[in-house]
Structure 1
Amino acid sequence: MSRLPYEGDRFFFDPGGAVAQAYAEAVGSLRPNPAEAERAIVERAVGLLAGRARCRVAEAHRHLLRMAADQRREPLDVAHGVIRQLDVAETVAERSIPPLVNGFPAPTQRFEPWLAVVQRVLDVNPGMCGYLTAERDATGRITDLVWAAATPEASTPDGLRGSQLIGRRASQQFPAAAGSGRWDVYQGVLDTGCPAAVGPFRYGDGHYTVRAHRLGQGLLLHWTRHDQAGPSAARVQGTERLANLGWGEWDLITGDIFWSEHLYRIYERDPGLGPLSRDESDALAVAEDAPLIRAALEAFDRSAQVDVTTRVRIGGRVKFLRTVADAVRDTAGRPLRIYGIVQDVTDRENDSRRLAEVERQLADEHELAGRLQRIILPIPDGPIEFPGLKVALRYLPAGRESLVGGDWYQATRMRDGSVLLAVGDVAGHGTPAATTMAQLRHALRALAVATSDPGVLLGQLNRLTCELERENPELSATAVVARFDPHRQEIVWAQAGHPPPLLSRAGHTSPLERPPGPMLGVVDDAVYPTSRLPFHIGDVLLLYTDGLVEHRRRGLDDGLAQVMRTVDEAVRASPQQPLAQLLARLRRANPDDDTCILAARPVTGETRDLRHHLLRGL
């Protein structure tokens, strides 16, 4: 939401309480249906949608419900249709329903129970937070609270922490709480569903505030210790960055306005200028959202909490911002203080658009598979030019075009001017292979921000693959990572169980001698040594996946020899610009396997400069 209803007001966001409430809402959106069989089918369809559109599972679930509403059909009927069209390999009755692994479907498990999802949410929530179920007497009054889930930092006076609290009774750990009046507040939260806060109150050597939200049949409680501002502030800043949200407070009595640090980042505003004025906020809003904003303001005037997503134009780009706002009011309902959060949900909205695009393409499976492959692994139309290096790419899909594969590449310029090149292969086809492929490819790009050493990067990818392999025991992957230094004209590279790169030099092509390195996901603490080679004008380096050389009817050596002959022929045919010739001549050896090819050669830039000069002369 681009502005708030009261000029000079001040948002107040209590980080722990608001984040806990947002997490509670997210968990509630994933709550399963009562009927076990129907729930399993819907879960499967949601997983397939999430895998196809490369989006979060919660967004895929909401999208399926919107499809059902738009078509005036039951969600179960829509789920059946999604499964029939997206999961062509098997029917619902042929195998068990797949689970979610890191937000994507895998082939053998099912979704975790709802309470387990609550625990997973709390596992990443900072501070002391817990989900407690209530025990009641015959009149419905609370007699005790029992820990059902807890954050890792949750602790009690008896020395228990985190998961140790599960199953413990709050009356035994906080014996004075039942008679303090706090349980009456909790009773009201459970009975009415309205969140509430208790405190600040003194307990032991600290002052605390407890915020309570109803979640299902239990309470989500968050404790804030006010005399530990330093560590708490650091955790709040970490939470803001993780959730990409900021908070603010508008005080109607004093006129004070406060924004958190990350709110300035969301609005790309210099903190020295202070918070946006009402006129400045209005200027950022997208005009088409005016009716939505008016409806939100009218709801706020009726003492309702505002939760609305609108668009703003910031820095020449359109952002989707979700605003959750509420107020402390007097007895007449007039607001005294407005507080809330603003979250940048642009990525989520983009996910929704990609899901809608997938939905429109369901009628044509072949086109859908090709589109999905391009979303996950975009292949440029022409060569990529880096400082001192030209790179060309080609992706050859398997004969079964309705299935996406696990082959991937990476070609990225680093901050120090070097170029990171990589090719990898995840065994299998379909959503599981594509899911793991996307995770490894994007993880490599993220890890390269901290280091450009190929051996270190492979070690980190190996640890990630080991974690994924624990949830998918049949997972296997290989990769080769190289770093080109244009100043030294040198390549440093390492490999993890991957076919050797080929180097064409002086008209002769040969495989590089591989440094040792096991496949990804096999040895937890595997080390990947590196090798170096000079890379000068006239050289050509070829990275590829095994579909280029391996075939079940002939040996690996035969396939490798054929590829080397093809490289020699391409370089002889076009020694000045061999990459186009090379990619045009190469063919996959195995029609049942995908193939990803990356070819690179050093360049001086003189040809491009001369062409630019001639064009200017014309």
Structure 2
Amino acid sequence: MGQAYAAAIESLRPTVTTEPGEAGRLTVERAVGLLAGRARCRLAEAHRHLLQMGAEQGRDLIEVAGGVIRLLDGPDPGPAPVAGLSTVVPAGPVRQFAPWIATVQRVLDVAPGMASFFTVERDPAGRLADLVWAAVSPEAVAPGGLRGAQLLGRRISQQFPDVVASDRWPVYEQVLETGRPAVLGPFRHGDGLYTVRAHRLGVGLLLNWTRHDESPVGDRLAGTERLGNLGWGEWDLISDDVYWSDQLYRIYERDPRLGPLSQAESEALALPEDEPLRAAARVAFERGERVDVTLRVRVGERIKYLRTVADASRDAEGRPLRIFGIVQDVTERETSARRLAEVERELDEQRRDLAAEHELAGKLQRIILPIPDGPIELPGLKVALRYLPAGEESLVGGDWYHAAELRDGSVLLAVGDVAGHGTRAAKTMAQLRHALRALAVTTSDPAELLRHLNALTCDLERETPELAATAVVARFDPKGREIVWAQAGHPPPLLSRGGHTAPLDRPSGPMLGVIDDARYETARFDLRVGDLLLLYTDGLVEHRDRGLDDGLATVMRTVDQAVRASPRQPLGELLARLQQANPADDTCILAARPVSGETQDLRRYLSGV
């Protein structure tokens, strides 16, 4: 049986896959693991809750899972205080959650008998020093009375000090080293006769105990009580005798030698806030109804949720003669539900905050960066623009453009990208774009303009750490048809000439905001009739599922195809083809070509711009 458990658990271990259809499934699985870990609930319960959240909010499951990951993918701050629950830290090592360990726990939760999965502690020489409970079946029990989940995080040397010195310990070490399972026993331990099976599972040890000397009927009854974490009791009102099952003593953590709780002791454990529920249950019982109620009691330093189902045998007038009932400890279920509700509340707050920030950043971006419906007519140039927002709605970036005639009759073209997303990126984008427009009054030299923008970004970075941006600035002289350009850590412009597209060789220039007093070089080339110049931000060529070189090659093929398909009006054809959003980043595209006598109005080609 132990080998079957080990095989079942091993089959549930996460495996790395590169199949394209697996990304969404892995996102959901990661979210389920994080949610179960934060709420301390089973994986199945976390998965059901994730499905329920998606259905109630009308959102795709993967989108909901992404929100869970963004909220919970970080150090667990520990259990948040829950009304009515004790915040006393348990003695012993704190169990750290890991999604795979939760999967092991999920299997052991439904495993009959006593089974435990241990992580390994070794001494400086590398020998097995101790085993720590990481997952455990409900029926596992230690001599001190700790049972099931109460053992998690505890060392086997504390609960079974004799096992470290026994002949079983070297066998456990051998199983860990070789991976070959072992069967030990039968052997006598305490008042029982046991066999233990040991299997290596990952880097840990899975142990399964079988007791041979319990009666089948009593074993099944005790196993049922432990599996359901419930006990039963009777109260003979004629003789005033009260009987509790062993599991009921365990639920109340009471020494059986003290006998069942008296009515006064039982009432002293109850929480005053639950008095209305208790009163309603008493009224229902007096009417002759069966009672099914969940109440809170204080057991030691902890608050437990106990579900009680009680009924009575009555005389001819309906007076109770014997009361019998079942008490089930549902603390884990109730606290998990409350933690799930708390996580959902945090997700709702985060989603509202993100939605508000996204709306504000979007409005700011639209005000600062209006995209014209058609091409822009500039001296000697016709310029077309397209802005592609990120595929993920929550990402509003800092991509920007500039295309305007200068006072000397030349044309200034620019495209830039501020690192990050949200209102901060949008605000920085506005500052850089407006600064460029203002600086162009004093100089039209692209290198000098970038030097000033770098100084501004460095100043902003002192107020907002880790701020960085890239940009490319070009000046077009319509008389000589010459372009002088400079760049600051930006992807190279693409030049299409004679049916072939290639990136321009970049002059040197670091990113904006990285180096004080940075210097930028310029490059120049002639822009001939029939050429097409493409400035863009990195969202056009960078994608999650492909490398930068592949992305650049794809764009260059698209430019070649657009020019071949419409050699006289390539701008509209090009922008019609470059309209697929990058799911992870915004994209700004500026395409320009020299004006000739044969240039036609492109508005009908840019109706989708």
Higher relative contact order (CA closer than 8 Å, sequence separation 6+): 1
* TM over 0.5, shorter chain: no
TM-score, normalised to structure 2's length?
A: 0.40
